[in-house]
Structure 1
Amino acid sequence: MKVFDAPPRIEETGTSVKATVYVETSVLSYLTARPSNDLRAMANQGATAEWWEIQRPNYHVVVSDLVLSEAGRGHSGAARRRLAAIADLPLLRISEDVRVLAKALIENHALPEKAEADAYHIAMTAVNGVEYLLTWNCTHIANAHARPKIEATCRALGLEPPIICTPLQLMEP
């Protein structure tokens, strides 16, 4: 994995410009999981696979050391598949600024204390100027009720919050 401190908000490649997308662990879980019989999970798996195969080349995709750690947990076969999917992606590191924002997100009740890892995912994107946070975690991260507090907390610290969305929401027409 490549390691860098702060990716550019956009990546210029010739005449086109690529936005940066941080892929959170839930996306990898849907991408690499065995096919589900649950209709919602099946739909999420399909949308994730479509985004990964068709849309991903349109973006500069990054993950973090936290994603790497989370992806490596659980069933060894599943962990191997998740880690293989991100093996060539640039890796963001947790910094003191990330820790400060994650703590502020919890203290300002944007996320509950039990969602500390989720606060770190959000902080990682805001501190590093990443445009999009791609997630299927709609309980704490891609949550319409939490979004105003997430955005206010980021901006209070002088940071632009990421656009938080699911793979389904980041499909180009």
Structure 2
Amino acid sequence: MEIINKYQPSILADTNVISNAVSPPTDRDSKKILGYKEDSSKLFRSLKGFNLFISWTVSEEISLGNPANVARRKNLVDGIKVLNFASEIKELADDFMKEKIFKAKAENDALILAAACIYGINYLVTCNMKDLANDKKKKEMIRVIKKHGYRPPIICTPGDFLRNYMNEPANVREESTNYFDKSQDLSYNVDTMKTIEHKEETIVEECRRIRNQLDEEYAKDPEKYIANIYKKIEEMKAQGVEFITKPFPPPPKRAMALLEKHRKELDEKYRKEAEEALLAK
């Protein structure tokens, strides 16, 4: 897809994308997980032409878990601006939960999508196909989003973004066998790391555990959870973290037309994949 001159699309990266980008491949990884790791790593090496952000929820999640993984994740997003938390985000997320767009105790998924909507983000890039990049839920998501007066983001995986929007630039393809790790200033080679057996918690398991942990904290005491968010945001601001506080304006007409074209292409792709999955059962 053509990249529009003078307009840089905005992207919100989900926690699992950041985690996969800094995680070396292991013998335990399925073909799908290996693809997520490779594509997520490429995404962070392909930042020219668009603006990458993380939400408060993502910032919180990448700060939890295995200390070595936390250090790598924080180094990767160092300098990336954070979408500030706001009451409107909680209101939209609560409506997602009320309408059962997300399963019970999946408030953080709802908060991430709500942040993308409130700030007018063009792309929400995620490896969470089940809950966020889910074609079956898309119509209901869009209905709730438009009811609140917001534009829905295009939800897709890192690979779909690279192939459909970025058209996978040549310089990215050439580096496709290297895994980025800023914290140690080295790259992981796929063939080398595949021979190493990792018995510790996988990245997928860690991401799920952290999100479940935060979802349980929210369910236990929502008011305390939200108050703690604002407290931590003030601490981060004092440390120099830059927050985005105003929504982005709508794209120009030509950019909007191309974004909608991409949305339709991805919708059709996911629809066909869902049909093929049903036939394969």
What TM-score do the two structures reach when normalised by structure 1? Answer: 0.88
Which has more strand, going by share of residues? 1
1:61 corresponds, among 52, 72, 78, to 52
Counterpart in the other structure of 2:25: 35
Residue 31 of structure 2 corresponds to residue 44 of structure 1: no
1:96-135 alignment runs, 5 A limit: 96-135=87-126
Counterpart in the other structure of 1:89: 80
* Shift in Å, 1:103: 0.3
Runs of 4+ in 1 over 6 A off after TM superposition: none
* Shift in Å, 1:109: 1.3
Residue 67 of structure 2 corresponds to residue 76 of structure 1: yes
Q: Letter of the aligned partner of 2:14 in structure 1?
A: E
Distance 1:125 1:90 in 2: 13
Distance 2:34 2:72 in 1: 18
* Shift in Å, 1:87: 1.3
* Shift in Å, 1:93: 1.3
The count of residues paired between Structure 1 and Structure 2 equals 159
Residue 160 of structure 2 corresponds to residue 156 of structure 1: no
Q: Letter of the aligned partner of 2:35 in structure 1?
A: A
Counterpart in the other structure of 1:169: 160
* Shift in Å, 1:123: 0.1
In structure 1, stretches of 5+ residues that fail to align are 1-11
Counterpart in the other structure of 1:6: none
Distance 2:7 2:25 in 1: 34
CA RMSD of the aligned region, Å? 1.3
Residue 16 of structure 2 corresponds to residue 26 of structure 1: yes
* Shift in Å, 1:80: 0.7
Distance 2:48 2:102 in 1: 31
What secondary structure is seen at the aligned counterpart in 2 of 1:94? coil
Identity of aligned residues (%): 22
What secondary structure is seen at the aligned counterpart in 2 of 1:61? strand
Report if aligned partners of 1:109, 1:149 keep a CA contact under 8 Å in 2: no
Structure number, greater radius of gyration: 2
Distance 1:35 1:162 in 2: 30
1:142-153 alignment runs, 5 A limit: 142-153=133-144
